[in-house]
Structure formats: structure tokens, C-alpha cells
Structure 1
């Protein structure tokens, strides 16, 4: 039993160490590709725009494969749009307001 516990501890330790090394090295590294936008077109299908070295790649992504639909140069005004924070969706605003209202009513009910 002691040997089995030792083997399992070595496996867990090696996995933890590998994860720390691989994640730590990626934090300061330049990422050559970034996802600009994506939209669901079906239950398991998406169209995604990926920026790679000044080019936009429009990809069709399914559960089993990724297809290049087209590529184009990055539009001039797109640099500001990609770096701007995303707008809050209406549902997120409604949910935040509902939670705040619930918290206010809960705090008023307690003696």
C-alpha cells in the first residue's frame, strides 16, 4: 500500500510541476494569434475570426474539424474595436439588477 501511495504521489506531483512550468512560461510570452470574434451558427457550429500577424482568418468550427472559410487583411478601424472592452449583454444587466433587488429585499426582511 505504501508503494502504491508513493507512485500516486509522484504522478500527482509530476502533473502539478508540469502544469506550473507550462503555464508560467506562457504568461510572459507573446501570443501570435487571438480570437477577435465568434458567433454560433448551430448547436455545435461556430464562425470565428482569428487575427494572426495582421491577417484575419474566418474559420468554420465544428465538433470534429476547423475549416478556413476566407482570409483578409485586418480592417483599419478594427484595432480600436478589438482592444475596447466588450459591451455588457442585456441579460447580464438584467441579472445584475435582479440580484441587487433580491439582496436589498433580503436585507430588509432580516430583523
Structure 2
């Protein structure tokens, strides 16, 4: 018969102490709390939602404020850009009452043309575009579609 080594007294009574402390948790006669209703935490949830939305709107306002151009860049407005190659583009920039047509490449920026601001205001998006090799294709297509629909 093998004998187990003698353990200190404090180690021998640990399992007994743990079971005595845990017995109220497993007691069958412990009262169970009532199930919470749907509206019990509704106010707290709405308050938390309002705080999160407020923080979100505050952060968005701060980002907008910090990203706004300051100083010399405040009078600069990019009107549009058109890619003309894989890394090249033509950009319209409004600066101090003039519109600059810029050629932008990865290595430099060049002024291609300068226009007065009124030159772009005279052109409207409804005006027919006759600059293409086939004339006003968009207008022709629109008229032909209308004739087709009228014929039905």
C-alpha cells in the first residue's frame, strides 16, 4: 500500500472552503429574479445612442473644420479634372477671378491656358457640344430616341 505525502493543513482544507463558499450559488431554494421587461433598459439605451451620435457628429464637424484650406489655399477652387493618360490629367482651377487650365503630371504642374472667370459662366451644360468629330452626338441620340418613342 502506497502512502501519500502529508500536505500542509491549509492545502487540505481548500476544497472544503471552496465548496462552502459556492454552495449558495447552487442552492435550489434560492429565489430567481423576474425576467426583465423590454422597456426596462430603453431609456438607458436611447441615452447611449444619443451620446454616440453626438460624438460622431462632433468628430465629423471637427474633421471638416480641420481639413478646410487656410491661408493662400483658401482662394483656390478645383472646378474639375480629366485624365489624359495613366498618370497625367488636365485640371481646371479657379484662382482670384481667373480660371487656370493646368497640366498635371507626377513630376510637375504646367499652366496650359488662362481664362477669365466669365468665360466658363457663359457655357451652359444644355448647350450643344459640337467639338466632337461627329458633331452633337448626344443631341442626335436624344432626338432619335424621341422619334422612336413617338412612332410607337
TM range (shorter): 0.3 to 0.5
TM-score (norm 1): 0.44
The structure with the larger Rg is 2
Q: As a proportion of its length, which structure holds more strand?
A: 1
Give me the TM-score of the superposition, normalised by structure 2.
Answer: 0.35
The answer to which structure, 1 or 2, has the higher relative contact order (CA under 8 A, 6+ apart) is 1
